[in-house]
Structure 1
C-alpha cells in the first residue's frame, strides 16, 4: 500500500502533462481560427458601413430594402475586404504577441535578430530563382492528377478599376504574405516551438497553413486541391523560419511565390 502513493502521484503528473500538451495543440488550432474570423468580421463590417455611408445608404437597412449596388462597387468592396482583413489580422497577431512576451514581441515573431547564432540567409537567394520552377511544376502536376482546371489565361474581373486592381495586386503579393506569415510562422510558430521539436513545429504550421486555404464553397476535390498544392511552400516556409530565425525570408518567399503563380495564370490574358 505505501507504494501506491508515489505511483498514483506519478500517474496524475503524467495525466496532467498529457492534458496540458493536448491543450496547447488545441490552442494552436483555435487561436489562428479566432484571429481569422475576427479579422474577417471586422473587415466586412468596416467596408460595409464605410461603403454605404460613402454612397448615402443607411448601413443598417435590412437586405430586402437595400438598393442594388453596381457590379464595380461589389467587386471593389470584395478587394478592399480582402486587403483590410490582412491589416487587421496583422494588428491582432502583434497584440497577441505583445500580451505573451511584452517588449520581446519582435523576437517572438521573428522580426528581430535571434539571440542564438543562426544559419546564413545566403541560400535563400539561391532558392528564389529556382522556386517558380519547383512550385509551378508541383501545382500543375497536382492539378492534373486531381483533374482540376489550372492553367494560363485566367481573367480578372472586368469591373475592377485601376485602383482596385493595384490594391488586389498588393493584397496578393504583399499584404497576404506578411499577415499570414506573422500569424503562422510568427505567433503560431513561437507557441508550437515551445513544446514541439523543429520538425513537429514545421509540420504543424504547414498543415494549419494548408487548412486555412480550404474553400468550403467548392466541391470536395476542389476544396482539397489548393491545400495540397500549397504543401511544399508551407513546409519550405517553416524550414526557413526555423533555419534563419527570422520572419522576413518567409514573407519574401511567400510573396514571390504568389507573384509567380498569378503571373503564370493571368499573364497570357493581359497580352490578348
Structure 2
C-alpha cells in the first residue's frame, strides 16, 4: 500500500536514477530542444504581445488610430513613452506567469501545482530552516557585490546613484517597483524554476538541471545595451535559485530570494551617492 502511494505521487526531486527510467537518445534530444525552445518562445511571445496590447490600448486612450503607419504617427510626449514602457513591462510578466501555468496545466492537468513546485514535495526534505533564512539574510550583499563588480569590469553601465525617470506618474512608479520586486520574480521563477526545471528533471540529474536552468535564465537577460555583463552578473543568483528549488522542493523560497535580491540591488542603485 505504501509503495503504491509512493509510485502514484511520483518523485519530486529531478531525474533521480532510481526512479526515472532511461529514455532513448532521440527522445532525450527532443526533450532537450523543448527545454530550451519553450522558455524562449514564451519570453518572445510575451514580449511581443505586451507591446502590441499596450500600444492598442494606449492609442485608443489618446484617440490615435492604431493602424496609422509608423511614418505618419505623431511624436509621443516623453511621459507617454515612459508610461507605455512600464505598462509593457508589467503586462509581459503577467503573460509569462500565465503561459507558465498554462503549460503546466496542459502537461500535467490537475497536478500542475506539483509540477511547478507550488505544493509540498512528495519526498520529505531535510535541512535546517535556519540555513535557509541565513542565505536569505546575507545573499543580497553577495548579489550586490557580484553584480556591481562584474558590471564595472565588463563596462555594463551599472552605477550607484541612478534616478527614477521624472516623467513617470506616481502610479507608474508603483507599477515599476511592483514589476521589479514582485511580478518579475514570480513570473520568471514560474517559468524557469517551475516549468523549465520540471522539464529538465526528466532528462538530467539534479546538478544538470540546476546548471542548465541557471544558464538559460542568465542568457534570457542578454540585451544589446548591457551585453554579456548582465547574464554573467546573474549567474550566481541563478545557480543559488536552482539549488534552492532542488533542496527545498518548493518554488516560494526561490520567488522570495529573487524578489529580495532585486529589492536590495534596487535600493543600492537608487541610494544617493555622497561626494
- TM-score after normalising by structure 2: 0.88
Deviation track 1:197-244 (CA, whole Å, cap 9, x = no partner) reads 1000000000000000000x23xxx41111111110000000000000
Q: Structure 1: how far apart are the matches of 2:48 and 2:154?
A: 33
Of 32, 52, 62, 1:45 maps to 52
Following TM superposition, the consecutive aligned residue runs of length 4 or more in structure 1 with deviations greater than 6 angstroms are none
For the Cα contact (< 8 Å) 1:151–1:264, is it kept in 2?
A: no
Q: Determine the structure 1 residue equivalent to 2:254.
A: 250
Q: Determine the structure 1 residue equivalent to 2:111.
A: 104
Structure 2 unaligned spans of 5+:
1-22
Aligned length: 252
Q: Determine the structure 1 residue equivalent to 2:28.
A: 21
Of 252, 258, 266, 1:262 maps to 266
Tell me if 1:174 matches 2:182: yes
Q: Report the more deviating stretch, 169-178 or 136-145.
A: 136-145
- TM-score after normalising by structure 1: 0.89
Q: Determine the structure 2 residue equivalent to 1:77.
A: 84
After superposition, the Cα gap between the structure-2 partners of 1:38 and 1:144, relative to the gap in structure 1 and judged at 3 Å, is closer
Of 221, 228, 233, 1:229 maps to 233
For the Cα contact (< 8 Å) 1:185–1:241, is it kept in 2?
A: yes
Structure 1 unaligned spans of 5+:
1-15
**1:28 Cα offset (Å):** 1.0
Deviation track 1:10-55 (CA, whole Å, cap 9, x = no partner) reads xxxxxx8222212211111100011011111111111000001111
**1:146 Cα offset (Å):** 2.4
Q: Structure 2: how far apart are the matches of 1:104 and 1:73?
A: 43
Q: Structure 2: how far apart are the matches of 1:70 and 1:119?
A: 56
Q: Structure 1: how far apart are the matches of 2:264 and 2:158?
A: 14
Structure with larger Rg: 1
Query: Once superposed, what is the RMSD of the aligned Cα atoms?
Result: 1.7
Once the two structures are superposed, the pairs formed by residues 1-272 of structure 1 within 5 Å of their partners are 17-120=24-127, 121-215=129-223, 217-218=224-225, 222-268=226-272
**1:76 Cα offset (Å):** 0.5
